Amino acid sequence: MDISDLRVAIFSGNYNYVRDGANQALNRLADYLLRQGASVRAYSPTVKEPAFPARGDLVHIPSVPIPGRSEYKFGFALPRRVRLDLKAYRPHIFHVASPEILGHRAVTLARKWDLPVVASVHTRFETYPRYYGMAFMEPAVLAVLRRFYRRCDAIFAPSDSMAQLLRDQRMNYDVGIWTRGIDREIFHPGRRDPEWRRSLGIEDDVPVVGFVGRLVMEKGLDVFSDTIDRLTRRQVRHKVLVVGEGPAREWFERRLPQAIFVGFQGGPDLGRAVASMDMLFNPSVTETFGNVTLEAMAAGLPVVAAIATGSESLVTDGVTGRLIRPGACDQFCEALTHYCRDPEARRKAGLAGCEFSQHYGWDEVNQELVDAYLRIIRQHGSGGRQPRHSPVP
């Protein structure tokens, strides 16, 4: 089979109605497939005013708001009209983007129709309960995830470190890499804008500690805030710049009253905001890759991040930034203090990060996934199946 003959069905709980790193990666994949002559149809909840236009055909899935996070929708079924649409479309492969009810329904349908199905891993869902006072639920969540991913022909992680974690957790025997690319037209050091910084009240010689991402507690906002408190008590000259929106914004603004919040930024505006920082601080442990980390490195910033699957494959400790034990606010503060007080250290780490980021291009990484699609379709067609897993975890 050639790529131009390929028909891909993507199932996502959020394909384009709220912007995040996962659905932007899916839409970039769809765009690449379409440019190669392939066909893409996405099945997802929809809204009247999505965050950005969808790439490929988009089919509405019935949904309900997620309790406590009403901006997200819970796709809960594949009704008859959707199954008929899928039959008429005749996809060669299912690509499931999240292990929610919609994902489970899609995997079940793929197995019923004897179609290959793959899953991409975008978030460490097993870590979420700890941010809502239910850490005791993590083993149960892991068990549910394992059952889901083992029913797929293959799963794809965005980094080597995440792939190894999935192997260690025995999620699947076929674990591939679908990494993330960088838009070098948007993220590069030349986007730095001193005038924009001044318009926010930031003096030229004040180092800016940046945060970029959805403002939700699982991004480590509490650790970020506690670390900035320590930086302030040490009388380290700095300014905090927060880029992003989310349900925890009000809490974050009250917690850091001296910080500058510029809300959501996209495209060239996001590139300007990131390049106008002096370092990125990313304490989150929930990402499987860390798009913002790579974007900051492409913009020439040192990155101070938690040792986690989303950062370990990107940040080289002591070269392009610092990797710190999760939640270790004193060590985070030491690293930020070093970069705030040493402009030359910032410059060297930023240059190293910028050079590292040159290895990531969207077309290249998406072609690797397409090659894997074709391999899995061929294997499935010849009767290849996952070997039986041992019941021992």
**Residues 77-86: tens digit of each pLDDT:** 899 999 999 9
Rounded Cα–Cα distance for residues 311 and 370 (Å): 25
Least confident span in 149-153, 204-208, 389-393: 389-393
Check residue 326 and give its pLDDT: 93
Question: Residue 70: is its pLDDT beyond 90?
Answer: no
Query: Helix 21-35 vs helix 291-298: angle between axes, to the nearest 10 degrees?
Result: 70
Q: Is the dihedral of CA 76, 127, 178, 384 positive or negative?
A: negative
Could you tell me the pLDDT band of residue 393, with boundaries at 50, 70 and 90? very low
Least confident span in 128-137, 147-156, 193-202, 333-342: 128-137
- Decide: pTM greater than 0.75: no
Query: Span 237-241, mean pLDDT?
Result: 98
Query: Span 355-384, mean pLDDT?
Result: 91
Domain segments of the chain: what residues? 3-181+361-381, 189-357
Q: Is-same-fold flag (3-181+361-381; 189-357)?
A: yes
Paired tokens of 49: 């005013």
8 Å CB contact between 100 and 13: yes
Could you tell me the pLDDT band of residue 308, with boundaries at 50, 70 and 90? confident
Check residue 389 and give its pLDDT: 57
Check residue 4 and give its pLDDT: 94
Proportion of the chain above pLDDT 70, given as a percent: 94
CATH 3.40.50.1360 fits 3-181+361-381, yes or no: no
User: How high is the mean pLDDT of the chain?
Assistant: 92
CA angle 268, 272, 275 (to 5 degrees): 130
Paired tokens of 277: 């920082």
CATH 3.40.50.2000 fits 189-357, yes or no: yes
Check residue 131 and give its pLDDT: 60
Which position has the higher pLDDT, 10 or 309? 10
Rounded Cα–Cα distance for residues 126 and 143 (Å): 9
Could you tell me the pLDDT band of residue 69, with boundaries at 50, 70 and 90? confident
